[in-house]
Amino acid sequence: MLDHETIRTFIKVAETGSFSQAAAALHKTPAAMSYRIKTLEEHVGTQLFTRTTRTVNLTLAGECLLEHCRQWLSWVDSMPAELKQINAGVERQVNIVVNNLLYQPETVARFLTWLHQRYPHTQFQISRQVYMGVWDALLYDDFHIAIGVTGSESLSNNIALHPLGEISWLFVVAPHHPLAKLSGETIAEEHLRRYPAINIDDTSRTLTRRVAWLLPGQKEIKVPDISTKLECHLKGLGIGFLPYNLCQPWLESGELVTRKVERARQPSQLSLAWKSTGVGKAIREVVTQFQRNEPTIRGFLQQIDRRPVRQEH
């Protein structure tokens, strides 16, 4: 009994709260509408509407059916285009993980908008992870492509890489922090460990977690993302390293200062990584966007200050 016409009739009566208004909208007679709904109620074995002389209201069962009918009707309407997209080699689901260092809400929103316009019938999911958590999501969770895995070598034969470049790190403190007074000299570790290190916790659940920078015996304050870490530095809460590009505006304004320390943090090399088996059209196009450095993806590369050298052939 839940054929296409019955579902449209049920939805229209529910939305208008009137058999006559629904009938006018669907170019049917009120009697025909009423008979179809009554037959539907008999088929499902429960009342879907409460009727008065003036109004028609959904019961709780009717509200439940309305939700499912809207979903079904939406799927039926979009099904032909969705099937064509599948036959064209476009994935039904694409899950993308982004390194916390490269994650920008505006960039992600712009990127998702572009993806949705290109592939309107594909479900997209974006996740933000830290350090080895990016690799972890790609290797052990149901993610297909990762923006910003660490390193330039793949951890699996089934994962392809495209180098994005490097992030340089600067040791920075607030100008009112005690270490800010030690300018023109390399600060020894015995002075550094007196102050807490601000770190972002590695989100890996399977691979070995990494600690960005922490001295033996030093207090550590863990924060969830790079934006919070920056704010902690600005407030003078602790010390540590920040990406070169990220802290440049604050260095220019004088709200942060950089100092030389023993054993400075080395640049972090990041890559685009994707599963090379079962790749569909959407993933291939995302990879191409990065390989060609298209405007669509450049926002992800704002913190990268050292780009890979292109090989001439």
Three-class secondary structure of residue 288 per DSSP = helix
Q: Establish if 308 belongs to a structural domain.
A: no
Residues 219 and 136 in one domain: no
User: Any idea which residue has 């309107």 for tokens?
Assistant: 120
Q: If you compute the radius of gyration of the chain from its CA atoms, what whole number of angstroms results?
A: 28
Predicted confidence (pLDDT) per residue in 133-168, tens digit: 999 999 999 899 999 999 999 999 999 999 999 999
pLDDT at 146: 97
Q: Establish if 311 belongs to a structural domain.
A: no
pLDDT at 309: 64
* Owning domain of residue 160: 93-166+269-301
pLDDT at 71: 86
CB 244 within 8 A of CB 168: yes
Distance, in Å, from the CA atom of 268 to the CA atom of 275, rounded to the nearest integer, reads 22
pLDDT at 312: 47
Residues 173 and 258 in one domain: yes
Write down the mean pLDDT value for the chain. 91
- Mark the ranges of the chain whose per-residue pLDDT is less than 50: 311-313
User: Any idea which residue has 């995302």 for tokens?
Assistant: 286
Residues 125 and 74 in one domain: no
pLDDT at 271: 97
Residues 116 and 187 in one domain: no
Predicted confidence (pLDDT) per residue in 59-82, tens digit: 999 999 999 988 888 777 777 766
Residues 108 and 149 in one domain: yes
pLDDT at 310: 61
Residues 275 and 159 in one domain: yes
pLDDT at 99: 97
Could you give phi then psi for residue 86, rounded to 5 degrees?
-65, -45
Q: Establish if 46 belongs to a structural domain.
A: yes
Q: Establish if 310 belongs to a structural domain.
A: no
The number of beta carbons lying within 10 Å of the beta carbon of residue 165 is 17
- Number of domains, the chain: 3
Distance, in Å, from the CA atom of 230 to the CA atom of 220, rounded to the nearest integer, reads 15
pLDDT at 77: 73
